[in-house]
Structure 1
Amino acid sequence: MSDDRRLGVLRAIVEDYVQTREPVGSRVLVERHNLGVSPATIRNDMAALEDAGYIAQPHTSAGRVPTDKGYRLFVDQLSTIKPLSSPERRAIQHFLEDAVDLDDVVDRSVRLLAQLTQQVAIVQYPSLRRSALRHLELVPLGDRRLLVVIITDTGRVEQRTLELDEALDEQVVPELRARLNATAAGRRLVDLTEPLARLEEAFAPADRALVHRVITVVEDTLGEATEERIVMAGASHLARSGTDFTGTIRPVLEALEEQVVLLRLLTEMADDSAGVAVRIGHENRHAGLAETSVVAAGYGADGNAVARLGAVGPTRMDYAGTIASVRAVARYLSRILAG
């Protein structure tokens, strides 16, 4: 739709409906918005918008409400996203910087996002498969046991214990630790296969069995997919939005409880946009989310997204505010992981 005036009418309908939850009539538009045209012209514009599927009349003699198609056009036409205030930005920074470890960072992020958006917040844990190795530590636990500690650039710490067939030569451990860190630090699994293979060949034949075991643990750990999970907060906000759903909120809650559904959705949204992506209503392929909108963004160190976070709520949401909050939390979280 290229008619700027009708886009202005649609924008006014969306903003009023988001604020009031009430269908919007032509008289209200005239009273609340300076659209610069007569009531008759507004009625004609509303009729055109309805014919095009951007708004609908829920009941006879009622005003109009936006459809999924109308919300999509509204979001696509958002030229500016209202910035967070300075106090809001400082609050985000201080709240997240006080975190003590990755689990605390994720927990704080999801609670903060739920509070800022007044929606359900979801945060995906950083994936090991998309993380780079920051540091590797080898700790002998006796003659035949070795603890392998893997620390990623996202702050994840994974520990694996090796049970050895032969007594551990502790003189080899410092050299192996140093060479592994020099070879693997800062690299992702996809870039490590050949360097690690060459590293194994650099050791004496008698030590290669141990080197091979440690390298295999590193590769297997960084290649794991089973650890991917979602943390969620703010489900109680859905109760206050109950009237926004045609039936009950039960299908929405059931969908949110399915980690696989949310992980698939976030993965699909990563393909939608390199920045903040928005899925509206039936654009969400899971039936339980057909009356919701999802706003999501990636986060990670050095501009490389290792996971995503977002907000889920009814299609009648403050899109500009939600997009701003999701983007801000993702940026602050990325800075912390890069720190």
Structure 2
Amino acid sequence: MSEPRKLEVLRAIVEDYVHSREPVGSKALVERHHLGVSSATIRNDMAALEDEGLITAPHTSAGRIPTDKGYRLFVDQISAVKPLSPAEKRAIQTLLEGSEDLDDVLDRTARLLSQLTNQVAVVQYPHLSRAVVRHIEFVLLAPRKVLIVLIADSGKVDQRVVDAGQDLSDDTLASLRTRFLTGVAGTPVAILPQHLAAVVAGCTPAERPVAMALGKGLEGLAHNSREDRMVLAGTANLARSNVDFPLSIGPVLEALEEQVVMLRLLSDMAQDPRGVAVSIGRENPYDGLAEASVVATGYGPDASAKVGILGPTRMDYPTTMAAVRAVARYLSRILGP
């Protein structure tokens, strides 16, 4: 059996099984695909694929289905991630653009990716520890109440209201905002408190009490990291795929609920030259995901946070990989500087 024909027969089996959920027989392959050989030859080819552990017979069925190893070879042979259709690209652009709030953008991203793939979408929050301060805003809500807004280059926006301890004028607050912004713009959020102390120390004695209150508020926002958090959408899609989880869908749901499992998996997944990472079945380090696959890619300024999907191993990998990569690129564009 030649290597090209082995790959062609495997591709046909994967595609048929993904779309039909039924074990694939040699007769069906001959009828549906132009493989250029007889049914007897295809049977021999399928026997060879089974010997290599790439396909298997479920129960006593005459047909065959791909194994994790078979899916891996299929995925590795996808030479390039296909582009999305113009309609799909417009849908992504329309849904994701028009929001400056990170929570809203990531929520929209998860819902959109779930709709595009009919799988569970997962979006990891950007790593705040790697983010830098893009902007600071102070808004006078009442004579002593100030709304503090901290915006990071990751797109994350945090805010809180603080008591300045004394009545303030708009001019005084504007002067302090300029002083703080000059002192901390471009500073890594992780070390922001160290720089805030220097800004407060540089203020005049009259300004210092208010500056200390504002600095304490900014320090609190810097500590309010959402680094270990992700957004989910489309969990109900798993219920429609329960036939793909013959053992139990429970462990998959538990992995999604225990976000630390998914966050660790996403962080450890390394992208291939096509710009995506695919973890199939028992390749997943968590036993509860032995019947699932995860497709993910990085996004944002340093691509350290991941966006991806989780679904059964029987999934449309080319379409899923394309959707994940395209959504990540739009998300990076929206959150970019």
- Fold equivalence (TM over 0.5): yes
In the TM superposition, what is the alpha-carbon distance from 1:138 to its structure 2 partner?
3.1
Q: How does 1:91-240 map to 2 (within 5 A)?
A: 91-99=91-99, 101-139=101-139, 147-162=147-162, 173-189=173-189, 199=199, 202-204=202-204, 214-215=214-215, 217-219=217-219, 221-225=221-225, 228-240=228-240
For the 8 Å contact 2:266–2:296, the answer to whether it is kept is: yes
Q: Within 5 Å, which residues of 2 pair with 1:224-303?
A: 224-225=224-225, 228-269=228-269, 271-273=270-272, 275-300=275-300, 303=301
- Residues paired across the two proteins, number: 335
More off after superposition, 20-29 vs 228-237: 228-237
Q: 1:139 to 1:87 in 2, by over 3 A?
A: closer
In 2: Cα distance, 1:65 partner to 1:138 partner: 61
- Superposed CA deviations along residues 240-295 of structure 1, whole A, max 9, x for unmatched, are 211111123222222222222222222122x4558321111112222222111111
Partner letter of residue 150 of structure 2? Answer: I
| Residue aligned with 1:177, SS | helix
Identity of aligned residues (%): 58
Tell me if structure 2 keeps the 8 A contact 1:294–1:311. yes
For normalisation by structure 2, the TM-score amounts to 0.85
Deviation at residue 146 of structure 1 after TM alignment = 5.1
Is 1:82 aligned to 2:82, yes or no?
yes
Deviations 1:81-131 (A, max 9, x none): 232111111121112224463332222211111111011112223342233
Contact 1:129 1:224 in 2 (8 A): no
Render the CA deviation track for 1:184-210: whole Å, top value 9, x for unaligned: 334433576776565455445776676
Q: Which residue number corresponds to residue 66 of structure 1? A: 66
SS in 2 for 1:121: strand
Q: 1:59 to 1:160 in 2, by over 3 A?
A: same
| Corresponding residue number in structure 2 for 1:325 | 323
Aligned 8 A contact 1:133 1:151 in 2: yes
Q: 1:44 to 1:184 in 2, by over 3 A?
A: farther
Q: CA deviation at 1:213?
A: 6.1
Residue 40 of structure 1 aligns with which residue?
Answer: 40
Cα distance in 2 between the residues matched to 1:81 and 1:149: 40
**Structural RMSD (CA):** 3.0
Alpha carbons 1:129, 1:223 under 8 Å: kept: no
Q: TM-score with structure 1 length normalisation? A: 0.85
Which residue is equivalent to 1:9? Answer: 9
Displacement after TM superposition at 1:45 (Å): 2.4
Equivalent AA in structure 2 for residue 123 of structure 1: V
SS at match of 2:149: strand
Inter-partner Cα distance in structure 1 for 2:264 and 2:258: 10
In structure 2, do the counterparts of structure 1 residues 4 and 205 end up closer, same or farther at CA, with 3 Å as the change threshold? farther
Paired residue secondary structure (2:106): helix
- SS of match in other structure, 1:91: helix
Matched residue SS, 1:135 = strand
Contact 2:192 2:222 in 1 (8 A): no
